[in-house]
Structures are given as C-alpha cells and as structure tokens.
C-alpha cells in the first residue's frame, strides 16, 4: 500500500487525495496524512510540470555534459557532485560508472549561454580534468512522457 500512493503520484502528480483514496480503497484522510509524511521525509522530493517548450516557441537549449574529475581526498566524488548541484543552470547531476565520472544536464537560453557556463564555471574547477558537451537536438521522451507532434488524431469509429 505504501508504495502504491507513490506510484500513482509519480505517474500523475495532479491526482487528488480523493482519487487516490478510492483508487486504492483508503480513506481520503489517510491518503492526505501519508502524502504529508512523504513530503516531510523528502521521499516526495518535489513536484514539477513537464512542458513541451517547442510548442510555444521556446528557444532554450539543453546540454548533456560529461565530466571527468579527480576524486577529492577523503570525500570521493560526493563533494564535487554536491558542488555541481548548486548551480541554478544545472538540471540534474549523476555520478556515473564508465568512461567519465559525472553527468550533468544544463538548461540555458542559447548555445553560447551553455558554452560559457561550461567554460567559465565547470572547466576551471581544479579537480575537473576534462569536459565534453553534447547539445540536445530534439526531445522525444522525458520522464516517461512522449513529446509528440500534434498530429491529427486517428479517425475513429464508435463501437458498442
């Protein structure tokens, strides 16, 4: 039951406590209480909205930056990752296995904007040994949601 509420909200943050309650056969008060508990414990870390900015002529850019670093004595990668997370431009930070150490996604207004963020803020850090910046050309799917063109809906028949 615990996870059921989280699973429903992960899929649709707009579900009301009433909807969740009857979906799972709980009382509304129970659901409200559980959700508050999750929020307090930061199990629910936040709520955001998925927006297809392309559809409203948004001209922002997103880049994926692969970063190689020298781990800090005594603190490993933790401190570095935490520092990277501080920047507002940074959307996500992951510690990676494989050819590089940290993956960061950055949102900026323009290519130049992102490029200067990387060269001014990230690259000069003393423990960063190299960066590789990959710009996103087109977003097809994000957080399990498809970003589709508003194609004409299929013409449908009515069945009984």
By CB under 8 A, the residues from 2 to 61 that bind other proteins are 8, 12, 14-16, 19, 22-25
The token pair at 79 is: 């401190």
Closer Cβ to other proteins, 19 or 62, answer by number: 19
Tell me, letter by letter, the H, E, C secondary structure of 74-129. Answer: CCECHHHHHHHHHCCCEEEEEECCCCCCEEEEEEECCHHHHHHHHHHHHCCCCCEE
Residue carrying structure tokens 């510690």: 95
What separation in angstroms does the CA of 4 have from each of 45, 53, 63, 92?
17, 31, 34, 26
**Could you give the dihedral angle defined by the CA atoms of residues 63, 66, 72 and 75, in that order, rounded to the nearest 10 degrees?**
70
CB of 141 to other proteins, least distance (A): 12
Closer Cβ to other proteins, 18 or 91, answer by number: 18
Binder of other proteins out of 73, 74, 140, 160 (CB under 8 A) = 160
Closer Cβ to other proteins, 21 or 65, answer by number: 21
CB of 34 to other proteins, least distance (A): 16
Closer Cβ to other proteins, 19 or 72, answer by number: 19
Size of the site for other proteins (CB under 8 A): 14
Collapse the DSSP code of 31 into the 3-class scheme (helix H, G, I; strand E, B; otherwise coil) and give the result. helix
CB of 22 to other proteins, least distance (A): 4
User: Which residues pair with residue 92 across a beta bridge?
Assistant: 105
CB of 159 to other proteins, least distance (A): 5
Binding interface with other proteins (CB under 8 A): 8, 12, 14-16, 19, 22-25, 156, 158-160
């Amino acid at each position: 039951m615990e996870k059921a509420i989280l699973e429903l909200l992960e899929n649709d943050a707009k579900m009301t406590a009433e909807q969740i309650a009857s979906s799972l056969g709980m009382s509304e008060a129970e659901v409200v209480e559980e959700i508050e508990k999750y929020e307090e414990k930061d199990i629910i870390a936040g709520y955001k909205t998925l927006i297809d900015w392309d559809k409203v002529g948004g001209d922002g850019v997103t880049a994926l930056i692969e970063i190689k670093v020298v781990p800090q004595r005594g603190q490993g990668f933790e401190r570095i990752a935490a520092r990277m997370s501080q920047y507002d431009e940074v959307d996500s930070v992951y510690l990676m296995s494989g050819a590089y150490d940290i993956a960061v996604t950055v949102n900026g207004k323009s290519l130049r904007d992102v490029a200067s963020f990387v060269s001014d803020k990230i690259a000069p850090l003393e423990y960063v040994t190299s960066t590789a910046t990959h710009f996103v050309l087109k977003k097809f799917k994000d957080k399990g949601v498809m970003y589709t063109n508003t194609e004409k809906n299929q013409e449908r028949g009515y069945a009984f």
